[in-house]
Structure 1
Amino acid sequence: MSQITVFGGAGHVGSVAVQLLASSQQFSKIIIADVDKTRAEKIMEKTGSSAISFVETDADRPESLKKAMAGSSVVLNCIGPFYKYGPTILRTVLESKINYVDVCDDFDATEKLLAMDKTARDAGLSALIGMGSSPGVANVLVRFAADALLDSIDSVDIYHAHGGEPDEGGAVVKHRIHSMLIDVPVFLNGKLTTVKLFEKSGRALEEMADFPEVGTFPVYAYPHPETITLPRHIKGVQRVTNLGIVLPPAYAELIKGVVRLGITGEEPIEVNGRKVIPLEFAVAFILSRRPRLMKESGLTEAVGCLKIVVKGRKDSEPLTYHFTMSSKGRGMGEGTGIPAALGAILMQNRAIDRTGVFPPEGGVNPIDLLQTAGEFVKLGEKRGIPVMIERIDGQGHSTKMDIAELVKTF
């Protein structure tokens, strides 16, 4: 009997992961560990899988977490925001002697998770962190470029734009606010440094980025953890940045405006005789304005694009590779939940053979991930992760490449 517990399995990301795990039939039991029984029941009804069950779980109570994961061989953690819950949940999972996968996209939480590496190694456990889109697939594609396409890598620039999902959770908005409040790590000229989003250092990184099938938008520095993990695993890289935007741009500007005003405190203040937490008000206000901003922008469906630009050399020749994944009708839930489920499948099938706490580029074989996606992921009429590759040589000549055909050569 193989069992997996999905923390946050009724959420936007976790529910997608649960559905793929069910269709893959790699686990005989799938436990949705969540606070929302109604949403969990809808997922169980939608999949029609008798393998799925629900356990009400409180992420603030370690004993509740331990009860939900009892008997599992893998835990997939999709509970955010990770800066709040990530370290506590991983610590609890390691205490329960269970292998772990998550979609952590907060760099400060990532550093705390990586600090548990020795604890995991001493226990003979594996903890794959940041196995979503960015971070996640982005890291694995950079690893693929380093292993299979280039002799050396000089720079990695990761771009992402997404939005238009029918609804957005409060945890996601809190993550967006958190990412604008903290110093943003970037790896420039071979050194890790930080910039501040609203100051000159942060504005210097802003640019217009073209996202195939989605559009051209301004992007700004994101504190995603690729900038701190890739330099540790890609020898010789001199630059790693992560730039993105949530769509529509007016929605991103609304969140920026709220952060600039400072409505982000977590200590209650009194308003007309009532205690109000500024951050909770800010989240509610932002979400209340979102439908109008989407309507005004003409954004009627979920769209997204992840683009990774890798520059390096092969046989002393300068080469640039663009890896692009664009989608319409699929949002953050699919973009993050599908890779997370694939990571859990790889963990269960022992395709990940190292112990400790590590990011995707430090423990996932790119070929294993791509082949597993080809086996279990079907998007429309196509199978696998829909990656487009463009190779640009030193003279500017461009060649389109098929990743499925590339994989066959390895």
Structure 2
Amino acid sequence: MFFLSVVSVTHQYILASLKYSSQRIVVRASLILVLGGAGDMGSGVVEEICRVGIPVSIGDVKMEEAGRIAAGLQEFGKVDVVRLDVNARDELVRKAREYDVVVNAVGPFYRYGHAIASALIDAGVNFVDICDDYDATDDILGLSNNAREIGIIGVTGLGWTPGISNILAKKAYEEVGGDVDAVDIWWFGSAADSRGLAVVMHLFYALTGDVPMYLRGRLTRVKAGSSPGYSNFPIVGNLKLYYTGHPEPVTIPRSMHVSERVTVRGGLIPQWQNKLVKLFIKIGLTSTKENTERLARFIHRIEDVFRSGGRPVSGVRVDVTKGESRVSYCTVGRMKKLTSIPASIGAVMLLNREIKGAGVYPPEEIIEPTPFLAKLGEKGIEITKY
């Protein structure tokens, strides 16, 4: 079972968890720090870690919300709150050194991902993030040599998509014997299934401009929102989805031989919202990052309008094709669970030294799919094979 070793490991760390600086001894009440732990996705990571009995700290500037979350979890385990502004690099480095593992859930990642990863490497601490922006992922992976030199591990993109999607792709790839023709990833999300501003910012960013796809055996750029295709999911049925900017086409070909393509298509439900988003993009409301963020903040303020009539469910499907054979995996559930559970499992695996090596990696390069998927199942994420 997944967390049978957690109690003994936690006991060992609590007894021996002293970290020395040149000026003082720091006694750590918590082992894992969650940056953005008061946010929509970060709070889910905090809860999942707390529920397995591991002391966890919420690192955030939203102290009132962080305090409310911590108070609500006290019956399950030890949660404390640390006021931490991730823009204050020196303070972030100093505070991160007090923990064994840090989870970064601060978005949008195109703004914060690389800077935070760099600070955590300087702090010498193992980390996980849920980065879902392709350019930030590339930049974070570029820090791998720095991490390797000091012997730490970073896992970037260990959420829903990327994250579960990468692990499912690797699982299917191994099942068909490798050297595949195509990896096609499909995702959908619902405004009724999330409340985070960073989620809205990411959506507009992923659907704007030219985004990476791996086509005809090489990484290229395509127009976001183009090349519609259809994919079938449990609960919601057949959906029309579009090219979106995600990290998987950048990372998957690094470790898997794919001769033709690695694609990501996604969209929203109800599907009329896709047309509205594409209209916003067409008239230039996302022409710059600043415009995108202004639009995202406006949409976030009126998001209840978009939630009306929506189903609080999201999902991802991965199709891996080799010749006439195809293996498909799919999962559907609440976005918060689909994102926070993989990140929390990864953090605990790092704490327990179940992930070996040094450097910064996407999930598929450093996590074995079968045991990881078993752990997802223990936490209630059901994977369907087609």
TM-score range, shorter chain: 0.7 to 0.9
1:284 aligns with 2:297: yes
State yes or no: 1:386 paired with 2:382.
Answer: yes
Counterparts of 2:178 and 2:141, CA distance in 1: 28
- d(CA) in 1 for partners of 2:263, 2:238: 18
Between 233-242 and 339-348, the greater mean CA deviation after superposition: 233-242
Equivalent residue, structure 1, for 2:23: none
- The CA distance in 1 between the partners of 2:338 and 2:195, in whole Å, is 14
* Residue 141 of structure 1: how far off its partner (Å): 1.4
For structure 2, the residue ranges without an aligned partner over 5 or more in a row are: 1-12, 15-30
TM-score (norm 1): 0.82
CA drift of 1:167 comes to 5.1
Note if 1:302 corresponds to 2:312: yes
Is the contact between residue 83 and residue 108 of structure 1 (CA under 8 Å) also seen in structure 2?
Answer: yes
1:37 is displaced (CA, Å) by 1.5
1:64-143 alignment, distance < 5 Å: 64-143=91-170
Q: Which amino acid aligns with 1:39?
A: E
Q: Indicate yes or no: 2:252 matched with 1:230.
A: yes
Report matched runs for 1:10-409 at 5 Å: 10-25=38-53, 27=54, 29-48=55-74, 49-165=76-192, 168-197=195-224, 203=226, 205-264=227-286, 278-295=291-308, 298-299=309-310, 301-312=311-322, 318-327=324-333, 330=334, 332-375=335-378, 377=379, 379=380, 385-390=381-386
Q: 2:243·2:266 contact (CA, 8 Å) conserved in 1? A: yes
Counterpart CA distance in 1 for 2:51 and 2:33 is 16
Unaligned runs of 5+ in 1: 268-276, 380-384, 391-410
Per mean C-alpha deviation after superposition, the further-off stretch among 13-22 and 365-374 is: 365-374
The CA distance in 1 between the partners of 2:193 and 2:175, in whole Å, is 39
CA contact (8 A) 2:109 2:136 kept: yes
Is the Cα contact below 8 Å between 1:5 and 1:68 reproduced in 2?
Answer: no
Q: Is 54-63 or 364-373 further displaced after alignment? A: 364-373
Partners of 1:266 and 1:389 in 2: CA distance: 40
Q: Which runs of 4+ in 1 moved over 4 A?
A: 277-280
Which residue in the other structure is 1:396 paired with? Answer: none
Distance in structure 1 (CA, Å) of the matches to 2:200 and 2:175: 37
Aligned residue pairs total: 357
- When structure 1 is superposed on structure 2, of 125-134 and 166-175 the one drifting more is 166-175
8 Å CA contact retained: 1:165, 1:302: yes
Superposition deviation, residue 374 in structure 1: 4.3
| Amino acid across the alignment from 1:291 | D
Residues 58 and 266 of structure 1, relative CA distance in 2, 3 Å threshold: farther
- Give the drift of 1:208: 2.6
Which has the larger displacement, 244-253 or 354-363?
A: 244-253
Evaluate the alpha carbon distance shift between residue 353 and residue 215 of structure 1 in structure 2; reply closer, same or farther with a 3 A threshold: same
* C-alpha distance after superposition, 1:177-213 (max 9, x if no partner): 222233211111111111112xxxx62x212322221
Secondary structure of the 1:187 match is strand
Paired amino acid for 1:11: G
Match of 2:17 in 1: none
1:148 to 1:280, Cα distance in 2 relative to 1, 3 A? closer
Secondary structure of the residue aligned to 1:181 is coil
Q: 2-side partners of 1:38 and 1:237: how far apart?
A: 51
Distance 2:134 2:366 in 1: 18
2:25 paired residue number = none
Following the alignment from structure 1 to structure 2, what is the Cα–Cα distance between the partners of residues 193 and 216?
Answer: 28
CA–CA distance in structure 2, aligned partners of residues 40 and 237 of structure 1? 47
In structure 2, the CA distance between the partners of 1:342 and 1:32, relative to structure 1 (3 Å rule), is same
CA distance in 1, matches of 2:195, 2:377: 29
- Provide the secondary structure at the position in 2 that maps to 1:352: coil
**Distance (Å, rounded) in 2 between the aligned partners of 1:114 and 1:42:** 35
Q: Could you tell me whether the CA contact under 8 Å between 1:132 and 1:335 is conserved in 2?
A: yes
2-side partners of 1:372 and 1:306: how far apart? 18
The offset of 1:160, in angstroms, is 0.6
Q: Decide whether aligned partners of structure 1 residues 231 and 15 sit closer, same or farther in structure 2, where only a CA change above 3 A counts.
A: same
Residue pair 1:155, 1:312 contacting (<8 A) in 2 also? yes
Closer/same/farther in 2, CA of residues 162 and 264 from structure 1, 3 Å limit: closer
> What is the distance in 1 between the residues matched to 2:193 and 2:368?
34
- For 1:407, the equivalent position in structure 2 comes to none
**Contact 1:5–1:72 at 8 Å: present in 2 too?**
yes
Q: Secondary structure at the match of 2:371?
A: helix
- Give the drift of 1:152: 3.2
